[in-house]
Amino acid sequence: PGARKYTGMVEDCCCDYETVDAINEEVLNPILQDLVALPFFRYFKVKLWCDCPFWPDDGMCRLRDCSVCECPDNEFPEPFKKPYSGLSPENMKCQEGKPEATVDRTLDTKVFKGWVETDNPWTADDETDNGEMTYVNLQLNPERYTGYTGDSARRIWDSIYKENCPKYPSEDMCQEKKALYKLISGLHSSISVHIAYDYLLDESTNLWGHNLPLLHDRVLKYPERVQNLYFTYLFVLRAVTKAADYLEQAEYNTGNPEEDLKTQSLVKQLLYNHKLRSACPLPFDEAKLWQGEKGPELKQEIQKQFRNISAIMDCVGCEKCRLWGKLQVLGLGTALKILFSVDGENHLNQQFQLQRNEVIALVNLLNRLSESVKFVHEKGSSTEEIMKQQ
């Protein structure tokens, strides 16, 4: 590997790049990779067929891979399902491409033992509305290249940046607005990194692999996009560790005691990791935000903007992109909810509660960001060398 390009503190955070890379690769990424494969974290509840409130639908899906394969496999956790739902195993098989197949009405709020049904104030979806929700096995639907490009995709990003988190010259931007912009830009970088990580290199032979020129052109070439990726990773990591007590005591029941014990143990390893706690005890200092006189007003404004971004996810014209867009925006909304549901002492307030789906989104988002940080660190310098030689 060539010389390290990013050194010193991650801008607006409390850890340096070297530490983040070391902790991520040695400790966090391996834990997260195991965690998201377990039943509790691999099924995400999502409303995929929703009307876009802004533009008529104009799906731009080029590859078959764009659609979500719901495929609740044999392991689909029993407690997630309503007893006697009448669904035969045949009906539970993958029915990719059939819109009606992605709607699984087997939800039963009663099985959400230990988990509350509360709406997240940062998102547009009503998390308590189980009406048209379906469970998606995330392991069967990896975030990767889907061929979703062109006007539709561009319009989404343009609208997010222009209307909902504009980037003003930095001297004009308060730190709260700056943070919102960086969170979205960091997420955008992460999505681009995943496209580059798992790209269809040759359609005729169905060959998938890394697309390093794309990684360079969309992310590495712009230091700010890399910085924002690290920022978003640390922000979400801070949220996870801030909610440690809550997450430790939560119920990880999927009806499979062995797997559920593993989940509990890995969650603890993630939350109370010695290396993380000593090297980077406070990944991000949220207490610095909303301090000014206009704090409460500003918080409302930014909450509204974030809710708008969440609503725009319904307009993403590619189902798999919409799935991961919705999951990751809910994950960010959950991180915002954790960091800003505080009492006067900056502790989580007494009534603080999370939904199971919020926790699933939060951990899967952290894993995605962790994968992106790892890939950028591993390939960063060598890719830049290759691009220079060309």
Residues with Cβ within 8 Å of 369's Cβ and at least 6 positions away in sequence, in order, are 186, 190, 229, 232, 233, 236
CA distance 43 to 157: 27
SS3 at position 46: strand
- The smaller minimum CB distance to ligand FAD, of residues 58 and 248, is found at 58
Which of the ranges 35-43, 107-115, 150-158, 382-390 carries the binding residues for ligand FAD, by CB under 6 A? 150-158
CA distance 271 to 241: 6
Q: Which of residues 305-334 bind ligand FAD (CB under 6 A)?
A: 316, 320-321, 324-325
CA distance 220 to 189: 9
Q: Could you tell me if 323 and 68 are in contact, meaning their C-beta atoms sit under 8 angstroms apart? A: yes
One character per residue 277-296, x = contact with ligand FAD (rule: CB under 6 A): --------------------
Interaction between residue 143 and ligand FAD (CB under 6 A): yes
Interaction between residue 149 and ligand FAD (CB under 6 A): yes
Question: Of the candidates 142, 228, 226, which has an alpha carbon nearest to the alpha carbon of residue 185?
Answer: 228
CA distance 111 to 45: 14
Q: Which of residues 164-193 bind ligand FAD (CB under 6 A)?
A: 185, 188-189, 191-192
Question: Of the candidates 287, 289, 310, 288, which has an alpha carbon nearest to the alpha carbon of residue 122?
Answer: 310
Q: Could you tell me if 242 and 348 are in contact, meaning their C-beta atoms sit under 8 angstroms apart? A: yes
Number of residues located near ligand FAD, criterion CB under 6 A: 22
- The smaller minimum CB distance to ligand FAD, of residues 222 and 290, is found at 222
- What 8-state DSSP symbol labels residue 75? T
Which of the ranges 39-47, 79-87, 144-152, 377-385 carries the binding residues for ligand FAD, by CB under 6 A? 144-152
- The smaller minimum CB distance to ligand FAD, of residues 63 and 111, is found at 63
CA distance 112 to 26: 34
- Provide the minimum distance between the beta carbon of 325 and ligand FAD in the complex, in angstroms, as a whole number: 3
- The smaller minimum CB distance to ligand FAD, of residues 114 and 209, is found at 209
Interaction between residue 225 and ligand FAD (CB under 6 A): yes
Cβ count within 10 A of residue 261? 11
Contact pick of 153, 173, 342, 387 for ligand FAD (by CB under 6 A): 153
- The smaller minimum CB distance to ligand FAD, of residues 228 and 241, is found at 228
**Torsions phi, psi for 39 (to 5 deg):** -55, -40
- Provide the minimum distance between the beta carbon of 300 and ligand FAD in the complex, in angstroms, as a whole number: 24
Interaction between residue 145 and ligand FAD (CB under 6 A): yes
- The smaller minimum CB distance to ligand FAD, of residues 240 and 313, is found at 313
Burial label for 336, CB within 10 Å (0-12, 13-18, 19+), is buried
DSSP for 97-161? T-GGGG------GGG-TT------TT-SS-TT--TT-EEEEGGGS--------HHHHHHHHHHII
Question: Of the candidates 139, 47, 92, which has an alpha carbon nearest to the alpha carbon of residue 364?
Answer: 139
Interaction between residue 223 and ligand FAD (CB under 6 A): no
- The smaller minimum CB distance to ligand FAD, of residues 40 and 199, is found at 199
Which of the ranges 49-57, 153-161, 171-179, 300-308 carries the binding residues for ligand FAD, by CB under 6 A? 153-161
- Provide the minimum distance between the beta carbon of 297 and ligand FAD in the complex, in angstroms, as a whole number: 26
Interaction between residue 349 and ligand FAD (CB under 6 A): no
One character per residue 33-72, x = contact with ligand FAD (rule: CB under 6 A): ----------------------------------------
Q: What residues line the site for ligand FAD (CB under 6 A)?
A: 143, 145-146, 148-149, 153-154, 156-157, 185, 188-189, 191-192, 195, 218, 225, 316, 320-321, 324-325
